[in-house]
């Protein structure tokens, strides 16, 4: 599955946040087996209000949310790119993720030591990103000699790869992450093959003190401003509060949220932001037994989406009965939508849209 890596300096609240995420996943999906793939990988249910609406209208007995993975990547210190601390392992773990969540410490607490002795989220961010940029530069330089022979043979792929390596190096040497490079559509695939740490999409978590969970604080404002300058998302959260809230039942949670001035857990916003960061979209299936959310990627056709449920659905695909979420709701469900002419018969080339309710017809 798709993975978001949680990255940050020591003592910024990564584990607290990760534990809250995995506890919440357990609570939300009691009827769905929680699986721990590795100790630091959490398989998390994606909160989705539309699923509740569909299940309600469709009279479904259970609701099965979509899922995604979070990885707690501990061990970053200054010098990681030179193998300091757990440097190499740390970088290898990040390489395996699809997107990066930077957890930045925006809370003061004398009992929790900061590695640099002061609270400065943007300086922390620069420390981490510098290590990632150095690691990228090193891996790019290492790739060059291996291309020489093919370049001499005028190999097209090697020429493209070398050109992209030079592009990445130029950007990195300006002190900017590889994700800021402008890459043509035709080069995207080869660009991804470079597997750069700083070309992965990012989002920022400003981990604030308990009193600032709703309002944010002077530190989180800096994080927000930076995220905005990059066109990235930032989520203000108090990991401490989230970890306390994760173990409460729905009613207790609602009271707690009310008391601190929030309308929903910060974790919900974080999971949804992570899902969007990975470029993931959701379609639904609904029946008396269950309403279920399924994950696909922008641009996928109906057969490809059917394959998410089962390979046979893709192989034997005939057509899909498709209803947009709004049409389903406005017409009070499938029958109403049918009567109103809002249930479409879509074929093999249909590009599925976020929120579509799908019923696949297939040969076995």
Residues near ligand GDP (CB under 6 A) are 8, 10-16, 107, 109, 112, 207, 209, 238-240
Nearest approach, Cβ of residue 284 and ligand GDP (Å): 35
Q: Which is nearer to ligand GDP, 56 or 109 (CB)?
A: 109
Q: Which is nearer to ligand GDP, 102 or 313 (CB)?
A: 102
DSSP E strand stretches across the chain: 3-7, 41-45, 62-64, 67-72, 99-106, 202-208, 233-237, 280-286, 290-297, 317-323, 344-346, 357-362
- According to DSSP, the β-strands at 67-72 and 99-106 are unpaired
Nearest approach, Cβ of residue 85 and ligand GDP (Å): 12
Q: Which is nearer to ligand GDP, 30 or 259 (CB)?
A: 259
Q: Is 16 annotated as a binding residue?
A: yes
Nearest approach, Cβ of residue 129 and ligand GDP (Å): 16
Q: Is 12 annotated as a binding residue?
A: yes
Nearest approach, Cβ of residue 62 and ligand GDP (Å): 33
Q: Which is nearer to ligand GDP, 109 or 252 (CB)?
A: 109
Strand partners, 285: 292
Q: Is 238 annotated as a binding residue?
A: no
Provide the CB-side half-sphere exposure for 56 (13 A, CA): 7
Q: Which is nearer to ligand GDP, 98 or 124 (CB)?
A: 124
Residues in the chain, how many?
364
Nearest approach, Cβ of residue 266 and ligand GDP (Å): 10
- According to DSSP, the β-strands at 344-346 and 317-323 are antiparallel
Sign of CA dihedral 36, 42, 47, 48: negative
Nearest approach, Cβ of residue 236 and ligand GDP (Å): 11
Q: Is 44 annotated as a binding residue?
A: no
Sign of CA dihedral 182, 184, 185, 187: negative
- Using CA atoms, how far apart are residues 332 and 103, in angstroms rounded to an integer? 42
41 three-state secondary structure: strand
Residues 1, 67 contacting (CB under 8 angstroms):
yes
Q: Which is nearer to ligand GDP, 10 or 336 (CB)?
A: 10
Q: Is 41 annotated as a binding residue?
A: no
Binding-site residue set: 11-16
Binding-site residue set for ATP: 11-16
């Amino acid at each position: 599955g798709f993975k978001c890596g949680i990255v940050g300096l020591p003592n910024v609240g990564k584990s607290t946040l990760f534990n809250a995420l995995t506890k919440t996943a357990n609570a939300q999906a009691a009827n769905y087996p929680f699986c721990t793939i590795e100790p630091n990988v959490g398989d998390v249910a994606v909160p989705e209000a539309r699923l509740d609406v569909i299940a309600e209208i469709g009279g479904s007995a259970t609701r099965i949310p979509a899922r995604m993975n979070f990885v707690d990547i501990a061990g970053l210190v200054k010098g990681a790119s030179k193998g300091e601390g757990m440097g190499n392992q740390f970088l290898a773990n990040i390489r395996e993720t699809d997107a990066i969540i930077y957890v930045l410490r925006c809370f003061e607490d004398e009992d929790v030591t900061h590695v640099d002795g002061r609270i400065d989220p943007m300086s922390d961010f620069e420390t981490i990103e510098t290590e990632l940029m150095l690691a990228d530069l090193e891996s790019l330089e290492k790739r060059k000699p291996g291309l020489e022979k093919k370049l001499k043979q005028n190999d097209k792929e090697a020429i493209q790869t070398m050109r992209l390596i030079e592009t990445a190096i130029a950007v990195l040497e300006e002190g900017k992450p590889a994700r800021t490079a402008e890459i043509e559509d035709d080069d995207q695939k080869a660009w991804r093959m470079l597997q750069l740490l700083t070309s992965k999409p990012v989002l920022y978590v400003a981990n604030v003190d308990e009193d600032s969970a709703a309002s944010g604080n002077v530190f989180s404002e800096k994080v927000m401003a930076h995220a905005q300058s990059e066109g990235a998302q930032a989520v203000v959260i108090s990991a401490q509060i989230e970890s306390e809230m994760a173990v409460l039942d729905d009613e207790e949670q609602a009271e707690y949220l009310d008391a601190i001035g929030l309308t929903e857990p910060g974790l919900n916003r974080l999971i949804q932001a992570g899902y969007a960061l990975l470029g993931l979209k959701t379609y639904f299936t609904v029946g008396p037994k269950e309403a279920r959310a399924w994950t696909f990627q922008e641009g996928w056709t109906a057969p490809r989406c059917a394959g998410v449920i089962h390979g046979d659905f893709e192989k034997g695909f005939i057509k899909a009965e498709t209803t947009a979420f709004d049409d389903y709701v406005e017409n009070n469900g499938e029958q109403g939508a049918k009567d109103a002419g809002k249930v479409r018969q879509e074929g093999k080339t249909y590009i599925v849209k976020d929120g579509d309710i799908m019923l696949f017809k297939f040969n076995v």
